[in-house]
């Protein structure tokens, strides 16, 4: 059981930090000229972001169900629920950029001269920054939970 818990914890950390890296990559791409191949790359990276978020959720659920602390620890812990609220906020906030990235990619496919207007790019950068703030809050709640706070 301890080995399962260790493997799940390691996997959870890998996918969470992978998610952070993908969010950073999207942020970097949004600061470039948004046209053609950059838009295709942005949409692909965003797809990877969604898949990785799903993997975070699956591994997290496995930790709750099969980890050493048991599900009772998690459902009674306020810091855990803080993490869940922040994770949901990140997910909900990511819907708007995902839809916009797909729209931009579609527009670029139909018009080779298409460039994303600066105002639209700026609004998506704001969404990603807000996602980043909630993502950082997840890490704060995780650290608190690991030290016994929230019970």
pLDDT band at residue 79 under the 50/70/90 scheme: very high
Residue with tokens 């459902």: 75
What pLDDT digit, counting tens, does each position of 23-64 carry?
999 999 999 889 888 999 999 999 999 999 999 999 999 999
pTM summary value: 0.90
Report the mean per-residue pLDDT for the chain: 95
Residue with tokens 């791409």: 29
- Both tokens assigned to 32: 């470039």
- Both tokens assigned to 33: 């000229």
Q: What's the DSSP call for residue 35?
A: B
Q: What is the pLDDT of residue 36?
A: 86
Are residues 62 and 140 in contact, defined by beta-carbon separation less than 8 angstroms?
no
Distance CA 5, CA 43 (A): 34
Distance CA 123, CA 97 (A): 9
Are residues 43 and 108 in contact, defined by beta-carbon separation less than 8 angstroms?
no
Angle subtended by helix axes 36-66 and 78-110, to nearest 10: 160
- Number of residues written out for the chain: 151
């Amino acid at each position: 059981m301890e080995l399962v818990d260790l493997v799940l914890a390691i996997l959870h950390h890998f996918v969470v930090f992978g998610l952070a890296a993908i969010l950073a990559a999207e942020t970097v791409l949004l600061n470039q000229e948004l046209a053609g191949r950059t838009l295709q790359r942005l949409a692909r990276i965003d797809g990877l972001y969604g898949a990785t978020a799903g993997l975070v959720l699956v591994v997290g659920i496995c930790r709750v169900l099969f980890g050493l602390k048991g599900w009772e620890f998690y459902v009674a812990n306020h810091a855990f629920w803080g993490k869940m609220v922040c994770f949901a906020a990140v997910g909900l906030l990511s819907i708007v950029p995902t839809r916009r990235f797909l729209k931009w990619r579609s527009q670029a496919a139909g018009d080779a001269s298409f460039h994303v207007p600066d105002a639209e790019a700026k609004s998506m950068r704001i969404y990603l920054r807000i996602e980043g703030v909630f993502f950082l809050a997840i890490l704060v709640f995780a650290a608190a939970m690991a030290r016994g706070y929230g019970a």
